Structure formats: structure tokens, C-alpha cells
Amino acid sequence: MLQAWRSDRQLWPSFALDEVTPAREGIYASLPDDVAPGVRQALQGRGIDQLFSHQAEAFRLARSGKNLVIATPTASGKSLCYNLPLLERFAREPQARALYLFPTKALSRDQEESLRVFLREAGLEHGAITFDGDTPADARRAARERAGVLLTNPDMLHTGILPHHANWARLFSNLHYIVIDELHTYRGVFGSHLANVLRRLQRVARFHGSSPVFIFASATIGNPKAHAERMLGQPVELVSESGAPSGERRVMVYNPPVVNAELGIRASYLKSAVRLVADLVRSNVSTLLFGQSRNSVEVMLKYLRDRFVEEKLDPALIQGYRGGYLPGTRRATEAALRAGEVRCVVATNALELGIDIGSLDAVVCAGYPGSVAALMQRFGRAGRRGHGSLALLVTSSAPLDQYLAADPRHLIGAPVEHARIDPDNVEILVQHLKCAAFELPFEEGDGFGDVPPEATTDALGFLTQHQVVHPSPSAEGRRVFHWSADAYPANHVSLRSVGWDNVVIIELGTDRTLAEMDFRSAHTMLHEQAIYQHEAEQYQVEKFDYENHKAYVRKVAPDYFTDAMTYVKVNVIQTDQEAPMGPDLRSGFGEVSVIEKVVGYKKIKFHTHENVGYGEVNLPEMQMHTTSLWLTVPEQVVRSMNAPRPAVIDALRGVANALRTVACVGLMIDPRDLGKTLGSKDDAEGPPRKDGAVGFDPTIFLYDNVPGGVGLAARLFDQRQELLWRAHRLLESCPCEDGCPACIGPAAGSIPGGPKVEPRPRKALGMEILSVLGSRTQ
């Protein structure tokens, strides 16, 4: 297939990268002589006579009671790193117990099956059971009373286990190992919540008399040791040198050809990805195609199946996989992949994690997933048995994608991003202190994990004022803070900071539950008259029951899909820091309120992607408090530009795009973690301005796109001068003439009704604005 692509004179010039990363030999270590006989026999039964070097190192550290993090590439045998010390402990101490945490239910179920078999082969009677929302009542009882290994997810630990820890006394009093897999997924607000759940977990374990060893497992990230230590609040040993062999990998980048040179618009990356994947599937290459969103996955699934129907091939060879599909549907797809009954799966990042799906030959990513770490994790899903594989990125017209397409070798040698959390975020910390007080009383002078006792006592004093905890004197004369409110606090704390209830999607006529969706996404995908796509079929939303979180849909056969349009407004609540940057620019950092409202939707025709209509949406707005950097351009600077005011404002929007692009690359973060908009720091309806200017001072906001913030905006404020210089360099180095999606966006053109000034390209105007604002700060 690769040879056919090379010989295609229209296709091959669009490949921006074709690089081979060589195969690597394994580094091995002998099994320790004192491994329990049953465990040794189980390993030899699997053909394991020696360990990879990193597995042996992890085994040594875990047995010596050290907390550790294993950060090695995908498919390097991380599961054995934590299963082996666990089985060894069980063989020598039958009462020992372990707790495994996985970010998703699917991963817990997948690991449960393999661990059960491993325990049975080692002759151990310790059961392994998954405890989550789908576990039946009788199995829950067995989990509490008999299970040697409890597999669960952070949400269930938070709401179903820690608040009822007395019922789990057998587990907590004998707890020796706590395994936290896929550590790299716990970033931002979710990771900050989990760090506080672990503070509560350690507190409960100490109460029951145990001091477990923590074993973290992570795909490659830039700061695994620091991230694990921040998560745990204790020292952690690092195992990062992988001894596992790896097959040859061909890494390719396809940048769709330009179809409109004036506007810098490229061919659809979704259709390009579909074409390339169709070529691979026809050649019997087992392929995994990653999309960036549910909508893009469903569109590509439909296009691929339509091609197969035209060519009289079985469309069932191509399956979809994403969040929202019911568990039975996802399990069936996983099993079919392992059995080789499916040739291609189109998936969101739901398949990015370590679910066993057998051996694949190729991974194609339609769009850059936002970070090198995520891209390498996806690429690692192919060639998982040590064979050669193809890793192909199809870039979109998004600025970050084009930034990488211009220098694709960045993907080969780029440093991997750091995972960041802020467990001391006040909003998050106070919520978990309430949960911890419900679980066990606090005594004055107690800390909370690595939170100092003074800070913990201050926070408990705040909760006392709000009458949710009640202080009473102890025999030693110190206050003891008891939970005194009626509410059950964990039920009101969502670890993922989205609506607590998902929206259930119900088919009219059959009353069949099709799927579910998180409440925030439902605003853009389940508004009335939206086309909801499910397994390459289309359903029109007839009714969205906002209060009861239900969407009613009817199956239809339109020739279009819908795409929501949103409006974002940012209001400054509190200024924490403010600094002038020369006479022409003011910068600030602080707390903001972000109001997002879905105002309408576009109808986009399948295959041609033409706009064929619009519609209105009437839903309440969503509000989020977070932190932001803002850059305010005085009105006098806007008026000093030799261009109509609307053109200057439009160029400032482009400057915001450029600033966000360089900020994401500089911070090494997913662009979805950083929001941006152009607005006004001060209320335009407020008192008259002293300089008599009309309108407002335009302000660029770059904000943390998670409630409460996780420190991104604060770091951008510290780097604000460099941010301007790098944005100017981005525009200056872009080969386009008037602006394109890779830098500032397409040219603005003439402004109807404006002054008779010669229209100026958006890019040139943006560079002039950055020169005026940035040159005086150097």
C-alpha cells in the first residue's frame, strides 16, 4: 500500500513526513530466585522465563516497600510490573489485599479478566472483582467480604467506598498495594480531584492500621516522578528505562493539499483520512482510526461504510467506538478486534488507553490530538506484539496542526508534555475536606495529606462558619471537627467537573435507550433539531428535556449533519496581578467568569461539507469560574491603525488565535485546555470613558478551560512578553501572504460601510499590532 501511495503523483507530494524509527532489542533480567513456586509456575506457563529490565526493577522496589511510578512506552508490559509483586505478596500472606484504580469502567473489566486467570494459574484463591456502578448487589457483597483484589475507578472510590469505609474494614486493614494505572490521564481538574481522593484514601487506611505501597503506571510523560509525588504527597521512585523490545515503526504526516490558495484553505482532513484508511483496509491492513470528537468519528464511520457498500464489501468490517455507546456494544467491538473479525475501528480517545485489542498494523489520527504524549499513546496501539507498524497523522487546517505540518520532525524528537495538577485549588480542596470530615472527624493540628495543619485548621474554620462541621473539645483540650450537615457530600462533588447526571438518549417509538452523553456536551449535540449520529446512522432530536436530562430522538435519513455555534463571554471577577507592558498594552491575571451559550447550529452536507442552512437554539447559558490572562489594547491604539475599526478588531481576533497557538506549544498542553476570546475587561455599559472614546478597550483573554483553573493562565502571565514575541515570529515565518489557518486566519477583505480605506490583509495588520504592542516591551 505504501508503494502505491509513493507512485501516486497527486497524493505523495502531500506527505510532509516519512520517517522510520528503528526496532529496538529487549534488555532482560533473570527471575529472582526466591519468587514463590506457584507464581514462578504461572509465569513459565505464559512463556515468561525472564523479565524485562524495568519489570525486574519495579518488582525489587515494590517488594522493598517503596512507592514507585513506572513510565514506559505503550505495550512494554507495565501490567506485570504491578501484578507480579501483588501475586508474590499473596503467596506469602494470604490475608493481604490490594486496590486497583483505572480511569474507566472498560479498563477495569478488561484487567479483571486477565488478573483472575493469572491468580488461578498461580494457585491463589484470592478473587479479583470489579466494583463500579454496574456491579450487582450480590457481587458487591462478595467484593466487600472476600475479594483479594478490588478493581474500581476514582468516581466509585470517591462516592461508594470511602464514605462507607467501615463496611470495607477487611480490605482497608489488610491493604498492602494500591495500583493507579494510566497516571498520565489524571491531569488538570480530574487529576487535582484524584490527588484529594488519595489524601482521603491514605487517611482512611491509617485509621484501619495499614500503610499501603502505591504503584503508579503511566505512558510516557515529561514529569512522571514529579507528577506522581504531587498526586501522592510522598516521595516516589521512578522506573523509566524500558527493557521491552519494540518493532520498526514508520511515522508519516499527511497534510491535505491547498484547495484555496488565497484563503489558505486545505482539503477536508476527515475525507483525506477516510481515503487513506479505505486504501489500508482494502489491502487487509488492520487499522485503528482516531477522530477528535464524537461527531467526527460518526462522520468518518459513515463515509467508510458508504464506500464499502458501493464496492460491495461488508460494512460490518468497520465499527465505531466512542464514549456514549452502551457497554455491551463496546465490549462486542473489543472482542471482535481481538478475534480479527473487524478490519477497522473508528474511535475517539476512548480506545487510547491500555484496553487489550490484540495486534494492529496501522494507526491513523485524523487531526493532532493536542499533545505529543497523546499522539504517541495512540500510535502505540499498533505493533503491540513487537511487529512493524504504520503511524499516520492527517493534519487539519487548525493552527496547531499546521504549525506541526510545517516542522513535522518536531513529532519525532519533541520533548513529551508535562502533566499538571493543582490539588490545593481552593474550590477542589474544600469540597474534599467536607468529604473527609464526613468519613472521619478531624482533630485540631491534623494535616490533610501534604496540606499543613495550619491551613487545614483554617479551612475547617471556614466550614464551621458555614455550619457543615461542628467543633467540640477533646479530652486533650484540642478541638475535634465533626460532620454536622444532613447532606451526603460526596454525591455533590463531581471529579470531572461536569454535570453529575448524564443525558440519556431515547429513541421515540421503541423507547430504546441508544446511548448517554455528559451534560455539558449535550448542549452542543442534543439541542432540538440537532442530527445525533450513532453507529453511522442519523437521528433527529425531537425533544431535549433539559430538567430531567433526557433527549428523545427519531431515526431519519438526512443528507446533512449539524454543528453547533457557541458564543463565549468573559467577565473579570477579581484581579490578582496587573502590569503595564509599555505605554500601549496592559496585562493582568485573575479570576474570571466564562459564560458559554449555544446560539444556533449549521447544517453541513455530507461528503461536500457545504453549509445548507442554519437554525436557532434556545438553551440556558453555562457558566464557569476559572483563571485567565488578559491583554488589554487601549482604544487609542485601535484608532491609530491605518485601517477601519472593524478590520482592527478582526485582526485582534486573529492575534488571539496566534497567541493561543504559541501558548499551547510553549506550555506543551492540549489546545482544548486553554480557552480564548476577544472581549472587554470593563463593562461597555459602564460610566463614560475619560478620553471620550466610543466603545471599549479590546481585551484578549486566554483562560484555563477547567473550573477553578489549574495554573496555566498564571504561567502565561509570567511569560507574557515572550508570548507576544513568539506570536510575531509565527506570523513572520508563515509562508502565506494574507493570513491562513496556520497563523492568523484568512484575510478579512473589505469592511462594508467602513471608511474608504484600502483594505489591508489581516496578517499584515496583525503583525503591525503586535509590533506596536510588543516592540516597546523588549
Task: For residues 170 and 95, give the distance between their C-alpha atoms in angstroms, rounded to a whole number.
Answer: 9
| Segment 154-183 mean pLDDT | 93
- Show Cβ contacts of residue 138 under 8 Å, excluding neighbours closer than 6 positions: none
Q: Indicate whether 711 pLDDT > 80.
A: no
What pLDDT sits at residue 755?
Answer: 39
- Taken in order of first residue, the domains within the chain and their CATH numbers are 28-239 (3.40.50.300), 254-413 (3.40.50.300), 426-492 (1.10.10), 503-558 (no CATH), 564-777 (no CATH)
**154-163, 269-278, 724-733: least confidently modelled range:** 724-733
Max mean pLDDT among 319-328, 389-398, 500-509, 664-673 falls in: 389-398
What is the rounded distance in angstroms from the CA atom of residue 422 to the CA atom of residue 351?
A: 27
Query: What is the per-residue pLDDT for 496?
Result: 66
pLDDT digits (tens, 9 = 90+) for 571-584: 999 889 988 887 77
Q: What is the pLDDT of residue 752?
A: 37
Q: Which residues pair with 543 in a beta bridge?
A: 552
Q: 244 with 77: CB under 8 angstroms?
A: yes
Give the 3-state secondary structure of residue 328: helix
Name the CA radius of gyration of the chain, rounded.
Answer: 28
CB-based burial label for 98 (10 Å; 0-12, 13-18, 19+): buried
**Would you state the pLDDT for residue 88?**
94
Give 51's pLDDT tier (boundaries 50, 70, 90): very high
- Report the pLDDT averaged over residues 526-555: 90
pLDDT surpasses 50 at 750? no
| pTM, two decimal places | 0.75
Poorest-confidence range of 44-58, 256-270, 642-656? 256-270
More confident residue, 355 or 13: 13
Beta strand pairing call for 344-347 and 287-290: parallel
Backbone angles phi, psi at 300, to 5 degrees: -70, -35
* Cβ 577 vs Cβ 543: under 8 Å: no
Closest residue by Cα to residue 220 from 78, 365, 407: 78
- Of 569, 566, 568, 567, the residue nearest 683 (C-alpha): 569
Q: If DSSP codes are grouped into helix, strand and coil, which group holds residue 556? A: strand
Residue 724 and residue 719: Cα distance in Å, rounded?
9
State how far the Cα of 186 lies from the Cα of 104, in Å rounded to an integer.
12
- Residue pLDDT, tens place only, 350-394: 665 656 566 688 999 999 887 777 888 888 888 755 578 999 999
Higher-confidence residue of 706 and 215: namely 215
Q: How confident is the model at residue 302 (pLDDT cuts 50, 70, 90)?
A: very high
Task: State the pLDDT confidence band at 777, using cuts at 50, 70 and 90.
Answer: very low
3-state secondary structure 731-770: HHHCCCCCCCCCCCCCCCCCCCCCCCCCCCCHHHHHHHHH
pLDDT of res. 168: 93
Distance CA 355, CA 113 (A): 12
Q: What is the pLDDT of residues 74-132, one digit of tens each?
A: 778 889 999 999 999 999 999 999 999 998 776 787 788 889 999 999 999 888 999 88
User: What is the CB-side half-sphere exposure of residue 363 using CA atoms within 13 A?
Assistant: 30
pLDDT of res. 683: 52
For residues 321-325, give the mean pLDDT.
74
Taking residues 467-476, report their average pLDDT.
Answer: 84
Mean pLDDT, residues 191-198? 92
